Amino acid sequence: MLERLTEALAKFIETSGIYWLFNNLHLDKGLDFNYIFAGSLGNILMILVSLLLMYLAIKKEFEPLLLLPIAFGMFLVNLPISGIMEHASTQLTLDGEMVLLEGGLVENGIKYAMMLAQNGVDYFETAKEVPGGLFYYLYYGNKLGIFPPLIFMGVGVMTDFGPLLANPKSFLLGAAAQFGIFLAFFGALILGFDAKESSSIAIIGGADGPTAIFTAIKLAPHLLAPIAVAAYSYMSLVPIIQPPIMRALTSKEERLIHMEQLRPISQTEKIMFPIIVTLLVVLILPSTTPLIGMLMFGNLIKVSGVTERLAEVASGPLMYMITIFLGLTVGATTQAADFLNLSTLKILMLGLIAFAIGTAAGILLGKLMNKLTGGKINPLIGAAGVSAVPMAARVVHKVGQEEDPTNFLLMHAMGPNVAGVIGSAVAAGVFLSLYM
């Protein structure tokens, strides 16, 4: 009895996460950081990172709707042996010995059926399927590319393309701001990432979370977590990153320019817009269909005026539900060894560069357009072309009001702002058609 209890106690301790932490310190090979971070110190560091992200989400309100689930997913998966992201596996008895194979019974069945073709041994009589962790299953929504387009549908409901319709020239500013993406791609290649990885990293500069996540899932899933974290962090930091660039590249006179009132937009125009955009973009660049298609579908069910109920659900319960699942499981892709390395630092740096160059390119085209139109365009609104809707537009408005409190740039900046969403979805489509 006592022996049994002692044995139980020993087993209990050995299966605890704390025991695992002490048993996996990986300090026996000196300063080999790859080896060390694959051990428990890596987990501890990642837990600290997740706590920092929670702090930023809660106290600094950095995109909390996504960053908090991401951080908590990161937290859970780095607690040792939590098994929440554990893949399904198959336990079977092979020549009298029990083995555990990654993957479900059917997946493993394939592999062994092939072996069987050669030696005819019937292993599967002893096979037992072990289910995967909770996040393993929820992650399928990402893996199969389902979650980001559905979130984009909700974004489509919430996006008002009115200011863009009133001033179609805004599209040029939304296009110029994608320059940051392609320069960052350049930089990433030079820093040693391959073309797929570079594309996924560069798209951070698009300042659209779902677009960045979708691209990363398709082209470089192993970089999903740092890319998502960088994308949402920089989107939160727009009010800090953009103003200095805006002030540096524009003169006081330019910042003082008032723009003329936008014309009112009829409902027919609003209805035709998503249909025409889908038609044109998908005809030219089919690889963007999931992104542009669902974004425009979301917008259509809103502006049509006859499907309010669908629009409410798409931008409400459905979107937030998927936000929870997407956030938690993106966070759960952070294995310490994958996250704590030089790549993550490079990604953060490249993302920042993409953002800054995109902002600058938008402003510079704004200056050019101002020249060409004889002073009718305030170049500041070009900065909103990076998207980060609606924050970048608000920042433009604020910087404009610093010079002249009577200058209302918000609506004028919303045009390039929403054009930037389309622009970066197109940029993502270019990468997908080139490298997928």
Partner 1 sequence: MNILFLLEAVSLNERLAEGTTALIAGMGTVFIILILISSIISLFKYIGKSDRPHNRSDIKLKAFIEAGRKVEPVHTQDDLELIAVITTVIASSLNITTDQLQVKSFRRIRSKN
Q: Which residues bind Na ion (CB under 5 A)?
A: 206-208, 387, 420, 424
Our finding on whether 431 is near partner 1 (CB under 8 A) is yes
Nearer to a copy of itself, 192 or 305 (CB): 305
Q: What is the smallest separation between the CB atom of 231 and Na ion, expressed in angstroms?
A: 10
Provide, rounded to whole angstroms, the least separation between the CB of residue 411 and a copy of itself: 26
> Which of Na ion, partner 1, a copy of itself, none has residue 300 at its interface (CB below 5 to 8 Å by kind)?
a copy of itself
Angle ∠(204,274,423) on CA atoms, nearest 5: 25
Give which of partner 1, a copy of itself, Na ion, none residue 4 binds (C-beta under 5 to 8 Å, depending on kind): partner 1
Q: Which one of residues 181, 295, 348, 357 is an interface residue with partner 1 (CB under 8 A)? A: 181
- Residue 331, Cβ neighbours under 10 Å: how many? 29
Among 107, 160, 403, 404, binds partner 1 (CB under 8 A): 160
Please, are residues 417 and 385 in contact by the beta-carbon 8 Å criterion?
yes
How much helix, strand and coil, in percent to the nearest 5, is found in the chain?
75, 5, 25
In whole angstroms, how close is the CB of 406 to a copy of itself at the nearest point? 33
At 415, the amino acid letter reads: G
Angle, vertex CA 164, rays to CA 262 and CA 428, nearest 5: 165
Q: Can residue 113 be called a binding residue for partner 1 (CB under 8 A)?
A: no
Strand order in the sheet with 89-94: 97-102, 89-94, 128-130
Q: Does 37 bind partner 1 (CB under 8 A)?
A: no
Q: Which residues contact 388 (CB under 8 A, 6 or more apart)?
A: 207, 208, 235, 238, 417, 420
Q: Does 182 bind partner 1 (CB under 8 A)?
A: yes
Q: 255: closest CA among 386, 352, 400, 92?
A: 400
The minimum distance between CB 247 and a copy of itself, in angstroms, equals: 30
Q: From the CB of 214, what's the least distance to partner 1, in Å? A: 15
**Shortest Å distance, C-beta 153 to a copy of itself:** 8
Q: How far apart are CA 192 and CA 77, in angstroms?
A: 29
Residue 9 burial by CB count (10 A; 0-12/13-18/19+): exposed, middle or buried? Answer: exposed
Taking the least distance from each CB to partner 1, the nearer of 12 and 29 is: 12
Q: How many helices (H) and strands (E) are present in the chain, helices listed first?
A: 25, 3
155 binds partner 1 (CB under 8 A): yes
Is 88 a binder of partner 1 (CB under 8 A)? no
Identity at 213, one-letter amino acid code: I
Q: Does 15 bind partner 1 (CB under 8 A)?
A: yes
Number of residues that bind partner 1 (CB under 8 A): 89
Q: Is 4 in the site for partner 1 (CB under 8 A)?
A: yes
DSSP conformational letter for 79: S
Binding partner of residue 206 among Na ion, partner 1, a copy of itself, none, CB under 5 to 8 Å per kind? Na ion
Q: Residue type for 313, please?
A: V
Q: What is the DSSP string of 100-113?
A: EEES-HHHHHHHHH
With CB under 5 to 8 Å by kind, the binding choice for 171 among Na ion, partner 1, a copy of itself, none is partner 1
Min separation Cβ 180 and a copy of itself, Å: 21
Nearer CB in complex with Na ion: 41/164: 164
Structure tokens at 387: 């998207």
